[in-house]
C-alpha cells in the first residue's frame, strides 16, 4: 500500500437556498435572456467581459470569457466558463454542466468541472432557488494554486482598504 497514489482531483458538493422577490417567470427569464443574464452572472469587480455568448436550449453551450484586471490575482489572464445545458423546464428547473479554466494563446485549460442544478419553487413572496453544485477540481491547471493566490491577494486588498 506504500505505493498507493494520491488522488489528483478534489471533489466538492454544496447547496444554497435563496429567496428572490420575483415570480418564477421573472427569475427564469433572468437565466434565459442574455441581456438580463449578463447583468448579474458576470462578476464585474475585477474583470472585463470579453465574450458572453449564449445558446439557451438543451444541448446548447454558453461561452463566457473574462479578462481579469491587471491588479487581480490572475493579472490579465482570460478566465473561461463554458456552460452546457442538460435540462430545462421553463420556470421550474435548469441543469447545467460547466467548466472553468484559464485560456492562454487560444488554448483553454479547465481547472474545474461542475454539475449545477437550479430548482425554482414558487413561494408566497416570490421564488426560492435551490441550488446544488457538484464539482471536480483538477490539479496542475492551477486550481488550488490560483485559489491560494486569490486568498493572498484578497488579504492584500483588505490590508490596503484598511490602511486608507
Partner 1 sequence: MPNLDQPGPPQRPSESIHRVFHALGDPTRRALVERLSETPVTVSQLAEPLAITLAAVVQHLQILEESGLVRTEKIGRVRTCRIEPKGFSVMEQWIQDRRTAWERRFDRLTDFLMDEQSDE
Taking CB under 8 A as the binding criterion, the range among 3-11, 38-46, 58-66, 67-75 that sits at the site for partner 1 is 38-46
Contacts of 126 (CB under 8 A, 6+ apart): 19, 20, 21, 22, 23, 27
The three grid cell numbers given for residue 33, joined into one nine-digit string: 435572456
Shortest Cβ 147–partner 1 spacing (Å): 11
Shortest Cβ 24–partner 1 spacing (Å): 12
Among 1, 5, 14, 105, binds partner 1 (CB under 8 A): 14
Number of residues in the chain:
164
Residue 1 interacts with partner 1 (CB under 8 A)?
no
Dihedrals φ, ψ of 54, to 5°?
-125, 145
Q: What is the largest CA-CA distance in the chain?
A: 58
Among 9, 21, 25, 50, binds partner 1 (CB under 8 A): 21
State the virtual CA torsion across 51, 46, 70, 163 in degrees, nearest 10: 180
Among 34, 41, 63, 93, binds partner 1 (CB under 8 A): 41
Residue 27 interacts with partner 1 (CB under 8 A)?
yes
Write out the binding residues for partner 1, residues 73-112 only, by CB under 8 A: none
**Which long-range CB contacts under 8 A does 66-70 form with residues at least 24 apart?**
66/42
Using CB under 8 A as the criterion, which residues of the chain lie in contact with partner 1 when the complex forms? 14, 16, 18, 20-22, 26-27, 30, 36, 39-41, 43, 116, 129, 131, 133, 154-156, 158-159, 161-163
Amino acid at each position: 500500500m506504500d505505493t498507493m497514489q494520491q488522488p489528483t482531483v478534489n471533489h466538492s458538493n454544496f447547496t444554497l437556498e435563496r429567496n428572490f422577490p420575483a415570480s418564477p417567470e421573472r427569475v427564469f427569464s433572468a437565466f434565459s435572456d442574455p441581456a438580463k443574464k449578463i447583468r448579474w452572472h458576470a462578476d464585474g469587480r475585477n474583470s472585463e467581459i470579453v465574450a458572453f455568448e449564449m445558446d439557451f436550449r438543451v444541448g446548447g453551450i454558453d461561452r463566457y470569457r473574462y479578462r481579469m484586471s491587471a491588479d487581480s490575482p490572475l493579472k490579465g489572464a482570460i478566465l473561461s466558463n463554458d456552460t452546457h445545458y442538460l435540462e430545462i423546464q421553463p420556470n421550474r428547473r435548469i441543469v447545467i454542466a460547466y467548466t472553468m479554466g484559464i485560456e492562454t494563446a487560444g488554448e483553454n485549460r479547465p481547472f474545474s468541472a461542475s454539475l449545477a442544478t437550479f430548482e425554482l419553487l414558487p413561494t408566497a413572496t416570490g421564488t426560492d432557488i435551490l441550488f446544488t453544485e457538484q464539482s471536480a477540481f483538477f490539479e496542475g491547471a492551477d486550481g488550488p494554486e490560483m485559489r491560494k493566490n486569490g486568498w493572498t491577494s484578497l488579504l492584500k486588498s483588505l490590508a490596503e482598504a484598511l490602511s486608507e
